[in-house]
Amino acid sequence: MKAFAAFVVLVATAQWSPGERVLISDFSYIDAVAASPWLVFAATRHGLLIYDRVAHAWRPPVTTLDGYPTSRVRTAIADPAGNAVWLGSGGVDGYVRYDVDARMSPCR
């Protein structure tokens, strides 16, 4: 039975391209919050939630697939220079700057 289940998983995985895959996570525990005039950032154990205050809508979450730190984020500071947030984990990831208009970039 285990071999059959593994086969089904492999066949199902082969049908999806990497762009069509989604990481399902629990975002209910928020460890840090930062806000700018335009965005509110909520750092959770599994990703970054972003609320657009202008559009009154949530943006798709940022997860480890997008470069979110693997260690627990404990600090979030909105960057006044743009649509960005600094995330501090105190771990091996150091500080990471996530720019909503660009991508996440490690800064150590």
The radius of gyration of the chain from alpha carbons, rounded to an integer in Å, stands at 17
Its domain, for residue 31, covers 25-107
The answer as to whether 92 is a domain residue is yes
pLDDT at 7: 37
Return the pLDDT at 57: 93
Answer yes or no: is 7 within a domain. no
pLDDT at 8 over 50: no
Helices (H) and strands (E) in the chain, counts: 1, 8
Helix (H) or strand (E) holding 99: strand 95-99
Query: Is residue 42 in a domain?
Result: yes
- What pLDDT, in 10s, does the model give residues 49-61? 999 999 999 998 9
How confident is the model over 51-79, as a mean pLDDT? 91
In a domain, 5, yes or no: no
Average pLDDT, the chain: 79
Residue 19: inside a domain, yes or no?
no
Looking at the domain assignment, is residue 18 inside a domain?
no
Q: Number of structural domains, the chain?
A: 1
d(CA 97, CA 75): 12
Residue 20 included in any domain: no
Q: Distance (Å, rounded) from C-alpha 19 to C-alpha 30?
A: 27
